[in-house]
Amino acid sequence: MCGIVGYVGDRNAYPILIKGLHRLEYRGYDSAGFALVGKNGELNVYKCKGKVSALENFVEGKDVEGSCGIAHTRWATHGEPNSVNAHPHYSCTENIALIHNGIIENWALLKKALIREGYEFKSETDTEVLVNLIEYVRNTNKCSLLDAVRGALKQVIGAYAIAVVEKGREDEIIVARQSSPLVVGIGEGEYFLASDATPIVEYTDKVVYLQDGEIAVLTKNKPLRVVNFDNAECPIDVKKLEMNISELEKGGYKHFMLKEIHEQPKTIMDCLRGRLSPDSYDVILSGVRDNAYRFLSARRIIIVACGTSWHASLIGEHLIEDLCRIPVEVEYASEFRYRNPVLSPEDVVIAVSQSGETADTLAAMSLAKAAGCFVFGICNVIGSSVARASDAGCYIHVGPEISVASTKAFTGQVTVFAMIALTLANTLTRISRDRFEQLSKALLDLPALVQAELDTLDAPIKELAEKFKDSRDFIYIGRGYEFPVALEGALKLKEVSYIHADGYPAAEMKHGPIALIDKTMPVLAIAIPDALYEKTASNVQEVKARGGVVISVVSNDDEMVSKMSDYAIRVPVTDPCLMPVLVSIPLQLFAYYIADAKGLDVDQPRNLAKSVTVE
């Protein structure tokens, strides 16, 4: 939930750290800071409340020379977001500085013990406890910094990715990971480290993804050393980084969110590429094909996810049940992990996560694995924890998603679910070859339809957003495949515009929420041509009859619901089971343009972070 970055080598570390922090700011932006070991071995920490730009202003005119440094952008867990709680944290003597992403669960106990030893604390953080514990072990055992880090981590319970520097050691950084991601980049006699590869990509394509329980010693001009907590050498698996720098820039768009919305014709195509043949219409997902017997003999499929990934999973449930007739349940990972679910080795658990680092989803996966379930991961970030913890899986391949509000990952996840459902339905012969080919073709046509929507809808939705930007509340309604889209549309609006919005199955309105309807409560109704169109139309009538203002999302040739509505957003039509992709696009644009019209920080909404690596 925080971003960490570091550099040791011959270059000036400061620009690398600041650029890296900007790339990682999506992970948290409550405060930022860095520590530098200068040429003469002096260790200086600079930190302040607020975003990375505030940190840049804060250090203006200060000495930021040094070729060994670590930096941090924070999403507050322990202690309010202020400069004292900001990372890095010094040890008591100011000889050691540490940055940390994660949570030390037994911090209170350790803190008490350190206080008894005379240690004093300035901040409310668990991180300051860890840095002092390292110093305590170092001084008590008169050992190396590596051994001190090892010794301290053996006493720690929790999740962490840490980086440690020490006064007088301008050539070395020690890093370690346990349940929080950490990537080491290997350059010529130099090393980079970061929470993900985005701060590293322009310097080197050689990376090592540290494993849980590993500590790495990054020493300038020396080979990388990785050991475990017992000091046994670990094998080093150097991977080639496949990432394009242009994907990390805004490319002329005002915000990443808008860029990512507009990227969707390409990202859906990238997701389909090499998997769905435009000639034979066959679908090949190797992770599903190679484990077909697990899916086909499954008693049921359970999907675990959070947030937007959970909404995409609800659409996955519809697709798999609809096309394959396999029972599916969708669970919030955070609930599933704690409610003692009944699981058996005949269950298949699918974990869905853009980042692949969501703590609750990872915990749900562990629970499923312990019960002997086959665990299949759907994620975006290559080499992420979900990818590594899965028995098999499938990437959505939509490229780095920087905006905190997820857009292209959602459509990528739905696309992958459609391919999984098609593969299983075909293998089980639950659908005819004609229907299979019809849906495969519809999937292949999606990118062009999304492009057509973006071309025609961007400007009118911007205008519509201007009209509704001062609304206080919103209700989104949909049925069947469109109910999860209503939930997702409402979540998008909430998180970027801070307008309260709820999603409901349209027919549920009369069981309570309709009491809210008056002329100040706009209702966004999804009424596309499917088996439930007429029924949704009646639900829209019920809202209109009570003076509600209706914005409908309807098909290009709609006649009935558009006439009842105050405003109609027209979208192209495909098979109803793929309509969630086409309907979600205008809802993403609507949320974006409302937030932008309100002058909000669209890419980094308040209180949020992109990857939620804590409970």
Q: Which residues bind ligand M6R (CB under 6 A)?
A: 306-309, 353-355, 358, 361, 404-406, 495, 608, 611-612
The least CB distance from residue 303 to ligand M6R, in Å, is 12
- Helix %, strand %, coil % for the chain, to 5? 40, 25, 35
492 is catalytic: no
Stated as kind and residue range, the H or E segment containing 364 is: helix 359-370
Q: How many residues does the chain have?
A: 615
610 is catalytic: yes
Instruction: State how far the alpha carbon of 227 is from the alpha carbons of 1, 103, 198, 210, 236, in Å.
Output: 25, 22, 25, 10, 10
Place of tokens 């999506």: 26
Q: Which is nearer to ligand M6R, 59 or 363 (CB)?
A: 363
The rounded distance, in Å, linking the Cα atoms of 89 and 66 is 18
Q: Say which DSSP state 501 is in.
A: E
The rounded distance, in Å, linking the Cα atoms of 285 and 378 is 12
Q: H/E/C letters for each residue in 556-600?
A: CCCCHHHHHCCEEEEECCCCHHHHHHHHHHHHHHHHHHHHHHCCC
Q: Which is nearer to ligand M6R, 403 or 552 (CB)?
A: 403
Query: Alpha-carbon dihedral of residues 251, 254, 256, 258, nearest 10 degrees?
Result: -100
Q: Which is nearer to ligand M6R, 132 or 309 (CB)?
A: 309
Q: Taking the alpha carbons of 422, 426, 432, 434 in that order, is the dihedral positive or negative?
A: positive
The rounded distance, in Å, linking the Cα atoms of 537 and 562 is 10
The rounded distance, in Å, linking the Cα atoms of 203 and 210 is 19
Structure tokens belonging to residue 108: 């209170």
Select from 20, 144, 160, 137 the least CA-distant residue to 77: 160
Cβ atoms within 10 Å, residue 60 = 8
The least CB distance from residue 311 to ligand M6R, in Å, is 8
Q: Which residue is nearest to ligand M6R (CB)?
A: 307
587 CB-side CA count, 13 A: 40
The least CB distance from residue 196 to ligand M6R, in Å, is 12
The rounded distance, in Å, linking the Cα atoms of 540 and 524 is 9
Q: Which is nearer to ligand M6R, 44 or 384 (CB)?
A: 384
Distance of CA 105 to the CA centre of its chain: 23
Q: Which is nearer to ligand M6R, 405 or 416 (CB)?
A: 405
The least CB distance from residue 401 to ligand M6R, in Å, is 9
Query: Alpha-carbon dihedral of residues 294, 300, 304, 307, nearest 10 degrees?
Result: 130
Structure tokens belonging to residue 217: 């010693």
The rounded distance, in Å, linking the Cα atoms of 327 and 237 is 39
Query: Which residues share a beta bridge with 48?
Result: 32
The least CB distance from residue 358 to ligand M6R, in Å, is 3
Q: Which is nearer to ligand M6R, 69 or 489 (CB)?
A: 489
Place of tokens 């970055």: 5
The least CB distance from residue 257 to ligand M6R, in Å, is 9
The least CB distance from residue 551 to ligand M6R, in Å, is 21
Phi-psi region of 350 (alpha: psi -120 to 50; beta: other; left: phi over 0): beta
Name the active-site residue from 2, 324, 394, 577: 2
Q: Which is nearer to ligand M6R, 66 or 316 (CB)?
A: 316
∠ CA 494-335-340, nearest 5°, is 175
Structure tokens belonging to residue 283: 């679908």
First and final CA of the chain: distance in angstroms? 10
The least CB distance from residue 80 to ligand M6R, in Å, is 22
The rounded distance, in Å, linking the Cα atoms of 305 and 483 is 17
Structure tokens belonging to residue 242: 């496949």
Q: Which is nearer to ligand M6R, 185 or 356 (CB)?
A: 356
245 touches 35 (CB < 8 A): no
The least CB distance from residue 212 to ligand M6R, in Å, is 18
Q: Which is nearer to ligand M6R, 95 or 355 (CB)?
A: 355
Name the active-site residue from 47, 51, 408, 610: 610
Select from 615, 612, 614 the least CA-distant residue to 26: 612
Place of tokens 């209170």: 108
Q: Which is nearer to ligand M6R, 555 or 613 (CB)?
A: 613
Q: Which is nearer to ligand M6R, 131 or 305 (CB)?
A: 305
3 touches 25 (CB < 8 A): yes
The least CB distance from residue 354 to ligand M6R, in Å, is 4
The least CB distance from residue 604 to ligand M6R, in Å, is 11
Helices 408-427 & 579-597 angle (0-180, nearest 10): 170
Question: Which sequence positions are flagged as catalytic?
Answer: 2, 610
